[in-house]
Structure 1
Amino acid sequence: MQMGMFQAEEFGDLQRLVDGIFSDGRATVDRLDMVVQAEILDLVPDLMEIVELLPPGTYDRQRLCDQINSALAAHGWGATYGTVE
């Protein structure tokens, strides 16, 4: 790991959110479902910010992951919180 980079205690929480929301076999999820589930999981404010940055719409898993990873990269938080797939 580079100097100044660390994994937060919440590392992987977004991956668990994505895995959980698609665990019932659904093909798509909408932004509101993601926000509500993130609130239920009581994600830390940084991760809530990432979820709330999702534009309104419906997402398949790949598109959702692309959007989340893009927001993480823009904030420089990928190494801290982990990316999603």
Structure 2
Amino acid sequence: MEYGSFQAEEFGDLQRLVDGLFYDRRAIDRLDLIVQAEILDLAPDLMEIVNLLPPGYYDRQSLCDQLNSALAAHGWGAVYGTVE
């Protein structure tokens, strides 16, 4: 699929996922992230990004760093948005 410089319909979905996970928590583990992403039925490209995270516990900043690194490596930051 050629992405060019458009924003996907799913733009911002990862940000909403992160916001929801950290609404009332300071840290999550990778399994929490994957389960919530599956519940939200994220697009296959976004599930690929989520599944790239190594096992472990993440505070918000470390999770965002990992997700943004994976998005950048795929060149998808402009298409799907980065997370904070």
TM-score class normalised by the smaller sequence: over 0.9
- Report the count of equivalent residues: 81
Distance apart, 1:11 and its partner CA = 0.1
State TM-score, norm by structure 2.
Answer: 0.95
State the match for 1:22 in structure 2.
22
Alpha-carbon shift at residue 5 of structure 1 (Å): 0.7
Question: CA shift at 1:23, angstroms?
Answer: 0.7
RMSD over aligned Cα atoms: 0.4
Runs of 4 or more, structure 1, over 6 Å off, are none
- Give deviations 1:12-70, integer Å, cap 9, x for gaps: 0000000000012x110000000000000000100000000010000000000000000
Structure 2: state its 5+ residue gaps.
none
Identity score, percent: 83
TM-score (normalised: structure 1): 0.94
- SS of match in other structure, 1:29: strand
